[in-house]
């Protein structure tokens, strides 16, 4: 029997209420033990010993969203390797199909184990790095104004301060030339973790160098971290990078002249 990890995606609306209710009802009547979390992004933001114990079992089925996003989340949580982990994308899989595949018989109640994120006051929005696509160009590190990224001992970029990210802003993913940055709660692919359509990506991918995308003046201000002036310049690019107005306004407030 597989161990089941279910994400209720309570912090976003990427799953319809009807899907969440049907999935929970199926699990409650399945006669299986399952692990419940309000939000897998929040649960994986920091190391979690209980979660790692679960993930290192032999067979795990994760009921959440896109497999690429789930893989990046579990890697962030500390999972180095478990080839027996299976991901069911509740964005695209009908719950009745899931019930049939798992052979739920509904003859006895399920047993829920709840795991939740440690920082309950923070809405978990932060980038993940798809290490299979990342080319270590460091453009996300150079672009980010909020100190979300840092270099590890191998000089590879890692997400070191997830709580510093600004909710709703996917700009660093927009400037990544490799489609390697994932925001699981984002609406559109491939940023949300959906599979990358390579042909489509080639047509819409940003230039290889940030300076070509943003211009030398903006890049100079970003490098110098003159945040207020950079915010004013980024305001002209907000549609291109899909930066919410609230992020730019908050940036100006946090770094007044």
pLDDT digit string, tens, across residues 1-25: 578 899 999 888 788 888 898 888 8
User: Once rounded to an integer, what is the mean pLDDT over residues 185-199?
Assistant: 92
Look at residues 72, 92, 114 and tell me which one is the last residue of a structural domain.
Answer: 114
Strand partners, 33: 111
pLDDT band, very low/low/confident/very high, at 228 (cuts 50, 70, 90): low
Name which residue leads in pLDDT, 188 or 182: 182
| Residue 119 belongs to a domain | no
Give me the pLDDT at residue 185, please: 94
Give me the pLDDT at residue 255, please: 62
What is the span of the domain harbouring residue 24? 3-114
Could you give the strand order of the β-sheet that contains 3-7, starting from the edge strand earlier in sequence? 85-89, 60-64, 3-7, 33-37, 111-114
User: Once rounded to an integer, what is the mean pLDDT over residues 202-206?
Assistant: 75
Tell me, yes or no, whether 160 and 45 share the same domain: no
| Residue 250 belongs to a domain | yes
Give me the pLDDT at residue 221, please: 66
| Residue 122 belongs to a domain | no
| Residue 21 belongs to a domain | yes
Give me the pLDDT at residue 130, please: 96
Tell me, yes or no, whether 27 and 98 share the same domain: yes
Tell me, yes or no, whether 20 and 88 share the same domain: yes
Q: Give the highest mean pLDDT range of 115-124, 145-154, 232-241.
A: 145-154
Tell me, yes or no, whether 171 and 246 share the same domain: yes
Give me the pLDDT at residue 10, please: 86
Look at residues 64, 79, 114 and tell me which one is the last residue of a structural domain.
Answer: 114
Look at residues 65, 81, 114 and tell me which one is the last residue of a structural domain.
Answer: 114
pTM more than 0.75: yes
Ranges of H-type helices in the chain = 17-28, 40-44, 49-55, 67-77, 95-102, 139-143, 171-175, 198-204, 210-214, 216-224, 227-235, 238-241, 245-254
Least confident of 64-73, 106-115, 184-193, 198-207: 106-115
- Count up the domains in the chain and report the number: 2
* pLDDT tens sequence across 91-124: 888 777 766 666 555 555 668 889 988 877 888 9
Give me the pLDDT at residue 173, please: 93
């Amino acid at each position: 029997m597989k161990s089941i990890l279910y994400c209720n995606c309570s912090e976003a609306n990427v799953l319809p209420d009807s899907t969440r209710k049907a999935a929970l009802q199926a699990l409650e009547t399945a006669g299986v033990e399952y692990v419940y979390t309000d939000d897998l992004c929040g649960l994986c933001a920091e190391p979690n010993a209980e979660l790692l114990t679960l993930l290192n079992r032999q067979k795990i089925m994760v009921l959440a969203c896109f497999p690429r996003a789930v893989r990046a989340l579990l890697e962030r949580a500390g999972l180095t390797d478990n080839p027996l982990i299976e991901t069911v994308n509740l964005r695209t899989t009908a719950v009745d199909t899931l019930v049939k595949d798992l052979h739920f018989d509904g003859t006895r109640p399920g047993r829920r184990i709840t795991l939740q994120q440690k920082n309950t006051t923070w809405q978990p929005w932060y980038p993940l790095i798809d290490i299979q696509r990342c080319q270590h160009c460091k453009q996300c590190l150079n672009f980010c104004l909020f100190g979300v990224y840092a270099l590890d001992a191998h000089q590879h970029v890692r997400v070191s301060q997830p709580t510093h990210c600004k909710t709703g802003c996917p700009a660093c993913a927009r400037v990544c030339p490799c489609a390697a940055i994932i925001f699981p709660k984002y609406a559109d692919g491939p940023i949300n973790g959906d599979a990358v359509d390579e042909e489509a990506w080639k047509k819409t991918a940003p230039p290889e160098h940030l300076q070509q995308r943003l211009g030398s003046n903006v890049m100079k201000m970003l490098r110098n971290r003159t945040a207020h002036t950079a915010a004013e310049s980024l305001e002209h690019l907000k549609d291109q990078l899909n930066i919410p107005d609230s992020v730019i306004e908050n940036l100006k407030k946090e770094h007044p002249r």
